[in-house]
Amino acid sequence: MQRSYKKSLQIFPRKALKLLALLVLSASSGGVHAASAQTSDPVTAEFPYQFFPHNLPAPSVAAAFPHAWTTYAANPGRNAVFALPRNANMALQRGVNWKFAGAGAIPLDGPPLDNNFSTTAYNIGMPVGVSAVNGIVYVGSDNGYTYALNALNGKLIWAHYGWNMTMSNPLVVDGRVYVSTGNAYFNYANTMMYVKGERPTRGPGLNSMYALDAKTGKKLWVYHFPGEAMPTAVYDEGYLYIGTGDGHFYKLDAATGTLASSTDLVSFVSMSSPVMSGDNIFVGGTNPNYFYAISKKTGQIVWKITLPKLVATGIGDCTPAYADGLVVQEATVESGDKKNPVANVLLAMNAETGKIVWQKQFENGPIPPAMKTATPMISGDKVLEGSPVTGNYYAFDLKTGRELWKVRLGSQIRSGAAVADGVAYVPYKSGDIAAIRVSDGKMLGKKHLGGAFGPSSPVIVGGTLYVSNIYGWVIAIPLSDIAR
């Protein structure tokens, strides 16, 4: 009954879908708790936040998890892997197995909406990945919701509606959850500006940064940006930093949501979630295509670099990784081959000067739909990276850029990886997760989960891998089910 009902939601207008979805979530979770203090807000009056306190994790489960999440994929190297204490829950040590269907989710074994993966991702998808803090899995959805789920059993704790796509990793610090919203569109006027080579603003609608109570989901404050705020922010010493679709890089007070400063980059930031090292923050921008180092103290641009023949959002889609004085970024360039017109380029830059230490251009291929870059991940002395153009997965030496191995996965790869006990777990578009031995690139296993994975970098806690899917699902699966 539930499955056929979700299919029926596809034919409803977007607003009706959201209202019906609210009823589905309410019915499946045992009721809605809506705080009367929020009814003065017209958004939450129409879409009241939901809170189910009986689904909160036990203190022993909460204690076993990370206690903060301050950047995309938890750390600058983008390897979101966490060991459990010896006295942790045995189910978590072995690996838990559950699935959560968000509002409007479609069957994992069926076709995408309108037979189009981009349409699916932009309407119901959970494209970017989850955060796991204090026994709770937090995830944003492109239907506007942010969900908090019990990490042990997948039960819904709360849901908050943000009135635009929520395409970021929720950050969790000091009892607050920070989520940003926006969309990838231009209105007509800004489309014409883009075509004429003028400066546009991307992201019509309500583009926001929300601070929510981590336990209840109640809104604490909201800041609205002129352009989209799709990337994940980075938190440091009481401030949030994020680039947006109006071409600025913002610094907000994390306690109050007040603006501390903004830097005019001119370039709009597409999906490049910033990474921080020392006093500098690194982020990619588009139109014009540059990669920036920005001082977190002064907001000034420390350095910027570009590459020739960059394609569209070529360097502004990728979320960079950092380790050992090097910032690693992927871009997409024109190849000069009419049959296979683009290629991905991986480059490592000196974090202090911006000098390119090494760069590698992957094989040529067709233009991929939607996002054209993957997320680099650094594990020890290796950079692991996929290609959305070729469907290959690579390992490079971090210091020299020497290619160490390559694995053919055969489907678009946009996510990062999670490396646990020498094994890289990589989700990709075909709905599979590959287990690859990092030392030599040997495939140790593959698990088909269905749907499709976009830039959904996975999270591993103990024996469980948590990942989101563009069909509108969060999935928890034991590592032992993937690498046998």
> For residues 423-439, b (16+ Cβ closer than 10 Å) or e, as one string?
bbbbbbbbbbbbbbbbe
Q: List Cβ neighbours of 441 (8 Å cut-off, separation of 6 or more).
A: 395, 404, 405, 406, 407
Separation CA 140–CA 7 (nearest Å): 21
In the prediction, which pLDDT does 64 show?
Answer: 97
* pLDDT higher than 60, residue 157: yes
Q: Which long-range contacts (CB under 8 A, 24 or more apart) does 6-12 make?
A: 6/101, 6/104, 6/105, 6/106, 6/107, 7/106, 7/107, 7/110, 9/104, 10/104, 10/106, 10/113
pTM of the predicted protein model: 0.91
CB 56 within 8 A of CB 128: no
* pLDDT higher than 50, residue 17: no
Q: Between 42 and 243, where is the model more confident?
A: 243
**Residue 392 DSSP SS3:** strand
Q: How far is CA 225 from CA 203, 228, 251, in A?
A: 10, 7, 12
* pLDDT higher than 70, residue 162: yes
pLDDT by residue (tens digit) across 419-435? Answer: 999 999 999 999 999 99
In the prediction, which pLDDT does 1 show?
Answer: 34
**Residue 396 DSSP SS3:** strand
pLDDT by residue (tens digit) across 85-101? Answer: 999 999 999 999 999 99
First to last CA, the chain: 35
Task: State mean pLDDT over 260-271.
Answer: 96
In the prediction, which pLDDT does 46 show?
Answer: 63
DSSP output for 359-375 = EEEEEEEPPPSS-----
pLDDT band at 3 (very low <50, low <70, confident <90, very high): very low
What backbone phi and psi angles, to 5 degrees, belong to 63? -65, -25
In the prediction, which pLDDT does 254 show?
Answer: 98
Cβ–Cβ contacts within 10 Å for residue 393, how many? 24
DSSP code, position 194 = H
Strand ranges (DSSP E) for 254-391?
259-264, 275-277, 280-285, 290-295, 301-305, 321-323, 326-334, 342-350, 356-365, 377-379, 382-386
pLDDT by residue (tens digit) across 313-361? Answer: 779 999 999 999 999 999 999 999 999 999 999 999 999 999 999 999 9
In the prediction, which pLDDT does 33 show?
Answer: 36
pLDDT by residue (tens digit) across 33-51? Answer: 333 334 455 655 666 678 9
In the prediction, which pLDDT does 74 show?
Answer: 98
Domain residue ranges of the chain, discontinuous segments joined by +? 2-481
Element (H, E) at 44: helix 42-46
Separation CA 369–CA 371 (nearest Å): 6
Mean pLDDT of the chain: 90
* pLDDT higher than 60, residue 16: no
In the prediction, which pLDDT does 312 show?
Answer: 79
* pLDDT higher than 50, residue 25: no
Q: Does domain 2-481 have CATH number 2.130.10.10?
A: yes
**Residue 55 DSSP SS3:** helix
Q: Between 76 and 50, where is the model more confident?
A: 76
